[in-house]
Structure 1
Amino acid sequence: MELDRVAPYLGAVACLVFAAVLSAPYLIVDGLAAPIGEYYAAGPLGIAGGVFLSVLGVVIFLSGERGRADSDLVAGIMVVVGVALFAMTTLWAVWIPDSVLFSFPQEYSWIEYHPWVSVALSFIIATIGAVYAWAVL
């Protein structure tokens, strides 16, 4: 398998999945604007920047594969972006107050696991970035 050709596409897909999963509570939970706002703003940084970084990650991953940028440079940038995304998501997940996380109605009880699924997906993005860097270097 040619990792240097496959990794950018896997990374782009992982970034899109992460953005979709991270946005799910905002799109699915109805009528609870205040708790959703507190949920996304938790922690020292909040997580709104995570969606931005993941969408940016799609562009960065594919720019190396499409020949728009040097693949060595793209791989290095994605290692940094992946680690930053993982750190941001982990800080957010750890700092969500229990009073916010468990304040949603029973029908939205899946939100209790949402931060940790997001952390796992951000770890996958960071790992793919590292694999891509290893493959091109």
Structure 2
Amino acid sequence: MERERLAPYLGAVACLILVALLSAPYFVIESQPPLLGDYYSAGPLGIVGALFLATLGVVIFLSSVRGRADPELVAGIMLVVGVTIFGLTALWAVAIDSTLLFSFPADYSWIEYHPWASLAVSGVVAGAAAIYAAAVY
């Protein structure tokens, strides 16, 4: 019962962290708009879809906690959404060209680790969804 109660909160917090993490370069890096556009659209699909799904994930996770939706339905939806977020983030992180990453000014050298940190957090989202689904079913 404890996992059923805590997993949605963990998933919602992980979704919020992922949204903040994925949005950080847009708000922090001021002088390189063309590079940022290429960075966010790297790979076949880019990262915007994962950002959108993570934003929705907060609402979906918390809808079962608040009693607005059936927990089994939310667990199933979030399992699919969590795995999709992880897949999109993995595809994006692997597809970013190293030339693009090293094109940013030295002040923003942390951008080299940003895709992998985003992938790790998206793994937490998928893991929380899996834990929630296992606890509910």
TM-score bracket, normalised by the shorter chain, equals over 0.9
Give distance in 2, aligned partners of 1:77 and 1:102. 38
C-alpha distance after superposition, 1:55-105 (max 9, x if no partner)? 100000001111111000100111100100000000000001112111001
- Residues 1:5 and 2:5 aligned together: yes
Partner of 1:22 in structure 2?
22
2:133 aligned counterpart, secondary structure: helix
Q: Report what 1:107 is aligned to.
A: 107
- TM-score w.r.t. the length of structure 1 is 0.98
Residue identity opposite 1:65 in structure 2: V
In the TM superposition, residue 112 of structure 1 has moved relative to its aligned partner by: 0.2
State the alpha-carbon separation in 2 of the partners of residues 27 and 15 from structure 1.
18
CA RMSD, aligned part only? 0.8
Aligned to 2:116: 116
Q: CA deviation at 1:38?
A: 0.1
Write the distance in 2 (CA, Å) between the matches of 1:74 and 1:42.
31
Aligned residues: 137
The whole-number CA distance in structure 2 between the counterparts of 1:57 and 1:83 is 12
**Offset at residue 118 of structure 1 (A):** 0.3
The answer for the alignment partner of 1:84 in structure 2 is 84
Q: TM-score, normalised on structure 2? A: 0.98
Deviations 1:80-136 (A, max 9, x none): 001000000000000011121110011100000000000000000000000000111
SS at match of 2:43: coil
Give 4+ residue runs of structure 1 displaced > 3 Å after superposition: none
Alpha-carbon distance between aligned partners in 2 of 1:10 and 1:123, rounded to the nearest angstrom: 12
Partners of 1:98 and 1:15 in 2: CA distance: 27
Q: Which amino acid aligns with 1:114?
A: H
TM-aligned CA deviation for residue 51 of structure 1: 1.2
Q: Distance in 1 between matches of 2:75 and 2:54?
A: 15
Q: Which runs of 5+ in 2 are unaligned?
A: none
Paired AA for residue 30 in structure 1: E
User: In the TM superposition, what whole-angstrom CA distance separates every residue of 1:12-45 from its partner, at most 9, and x where no partner exists?
Assistant: 1110000000111001001100000000000010
